[in-house]
Structure 1
């Protein structure tokens, strides 16, 4: 049986599982895309609505898609009622904050601000040297805004020089900030798998555990995820650019439409890779189950050391907790040792089998006819 490669996109194991349920996965993707499309489409009325529709409808739909696909490939089956139940489970205490949306949003906002400043300043200094009318147009709009307030903002979109300036200053930062947001949401989707395996622990503690694991072994958790999912980032970028250009040519004087068009097409193209992302993440967690338990124990020991400095618990309670964790750690070491011994025994049997097959196929040894 072929081994799962944590660094390989489009790996054969994930692909073989997708091939078992193509119709069901397509239906799940269609429902997700429909909900995401409506969520983003509301932004055509006013882009600020996206701050509500994306976290309240699009992300729960993504969560439902992730859990539904994992249920499906495990052979448990899936129904509309179950998918809707998963949608509601996103708001439950067990999965509360699993995607870390608020923190991810503010990080993405910082990315947007940084790229906006870089692009706007760069475009400004290039434009004033290339286009003599650019600075004049900018001064005119600034004067109108000062005298007539934002009622004259439409003048900005009637001037081609300023319209291009606006599109560049908005489009490029939005591409990188939304891609960064998407990357972090998908990376945090690993958190969903961990939460489904670790019970009776508060969401904040599990978020801390997940962050601790990623920081402790970036090669295993972070960079392997990036290597597995770079085609998804590429699809997202291609969709974003195509959507933005389509809006630019169809509605040149309505640049706010470009935000919704770009985001929808980005999500649409990303859907071609999302099943691989979720299935490979599930395989990754299963293959590293022992490592994750080790991190959980290490994190627990570290937390207990910090609790020792406080007076919340008695020394007897903390020592008892230490003892229990050490026993779990020992059982994990024993289980891993047995697993390695079984693997060595299996490899030895396979090696002998290969030698026997070789002897049967070549009874004369190395003699040549």
Structure 2
């Protein structure tokens, strides 16, 4: 294992009724007003909005609101929220939603304390100050509730990229699994695939010195292959929802990167970002298509991590290392397909003529990748495999 520093300052309040504890935390921090940030109408239909509003009201905390955060969140909504806060300051931000809302809240938290355009943070500007975030998670997928990362799209620049700062970790995150009972099936599937992708991008990075950490990742992957089908069968199974939600937080809170030479190989995410940006593909669907294609492209040259995946997650022990690697990828793709996720660009209505545009967008910022540094030609070939 390589030297590492692991630090995660987020207080997680996990379980039923934890919104009330979140309000206690806000009161203890001396917060008198917050921007309540959310997405669409779901939190009104499932009663989450009422619980949050009641908890804030009982503590005397004012909560001006801003809704309309989209999946694949955009910088224009961030700018709108920043302008609202600058016109009428608040002490903190309370995102109520999934990763898109939490990611937007982080960009808003930094932008509210900065005189320039918040997109500057996605082009490398360091965050110097940020408002505190006290979040309520309603959909597990990105681990944004327990990390300092935000991913936002800028359609005008045809860019979807991330910012990352220790100042952007939520101070407190409330995770009530019962809030996820009413999620649409596709959101459970795509969120689960995102959770799996965060793990896969660690265990498949080719690092040989982190067997303990990899074993933790394999356990999470095995659990997700059980939990996603279980939740499709019984969406209000609290224990399954709780395990799913906690797996979501564990997958991308930094612990699986400990001791690695790199923090993981996020090539599949980068390839998927171009799909989401250019064609508004749901994030999880972009990953169910691009991760198997990326794996097939690399497995013959780098079979070891894929063979280990096949053994540890799918009980594949027969055949050569390369044969096990290929079978493991086949089984991963089969699992995605079995829960209703797409595995080809054609299923996303992406035409063969669109592949060159996707490759150009994904390659625009130069090479990327850990297991292999992918150049523009590599990227083009991977999109072709995904077709």
Query: Looking at CA atoms only, which structure, 1 or 2, has the larger radius of gyration?
Result: 1
TM range (shorter): under 0.3
Compare relative contact order (CA 8 Å, sep 6+) and give the higher one, 1 or 2. 1
TM-score scaled by length of structure 2: 0.23
Please identify which structure carries the higher helix content.
1
Higher strand share: 2
TM-score (norm 1): 0.24
